[in-house]
Amino acid sequence: MAKLTILEFPDPRLRTRASPVESVDDGLRSLIDDLFETMYEAPGIGLAATQVNVHKRVLVADISADKSEPLALINPVIVEKDGVTATEEGCLSVPGYYEEVERAEHIRVKFTDRLGDDVEMEAEGLLAVCIQHEMDHLEGKLFVDYLSEAKRSRIRKKLVKEQRYRSADAVAL
């Protein structure tokens, strides 16, 4: 297993639309293991392959406090959604920023699991929000896209500044 580097907003690679996974093989399972390791170490409750610059329709999530509910969704599709819930969301690709976003409260999602089996699952509350957030990543969409242009641009400027300081540190004499 390996911890992968997470792309940060406004990196244009986060805007890539992911392609469907055609076969669930050992290479894909190894990517899923790496996604879990990267997510747990961050720490976060969800991570999409897009965020580690792999543009395949794969995401992982675990909303438990003790890493006991790992979920890997391959080619996820929401087939039903209802209700509205507002959550303070953050994102490993937008470090340090939390803003309220409205999403469906309850979803039914179809996906392929790591064994290659087709699964249909219901999710509500935080798990439903997490899956919707990660599925947005697969479309090249970020939670900041739900905010006003002014807010998004303020976050972009601050993050670009932080990223510049960080790369300057690497060559400081």
Selected range binding Ni ion among 53-61, 64-72, 88-96, 108-116, rule: CB under 5 A: 88-96
Residue 91 touching Ni ion (CB under 5 A): yes
Query: Exposed, middle or buried, 173 (CB in 10 Å: 0-12/13-18/19+)?
Result: exposed
Tell me how far CA of residue 162 lies from CA of 2, 9, 10, in angstroms. Answer: 25, 11, 12
Number of residues that bind Ni ion (CB under 5 A): 1
Give least dist CB 113 to Ni ion, A: 21
What does the buried/exposed string (b/e) look like for 107-130 if buried means 16 or more CB atoms within 10 Å of the residue's CB?
A: bebebbebeeeeeeeebeeebbbb
The residue of the chain with the least Cβ separation from Ni ion equals: 91
* Residue 24 or 152 with smaller CB distance to Ni ion: 152
In the residue annotation, 162 being an active-site residue is answered as no
138 binds Ni ion (CB under 5 A): no
Q: Which stretch binds Ni ion (CB under 5 A): 18-26, 31-39, 67-75, 89-97?
A: 89-97
Please enumerate in sequence order all residues whose Cβ is within 8 A of that of 110, keeping only pairs 6 or more positions apart, or say none.
76, 77, 79, 118, 119, 120
Catalytic residue, chosen from 120, 134, 139, 149, is 134
**Smallest separation (angstroms) from Ni ion to the CB of 126:** 14
Q: Known catalytic residues?
A: 134
Residues near Ni ion (CB under 5 A):
91
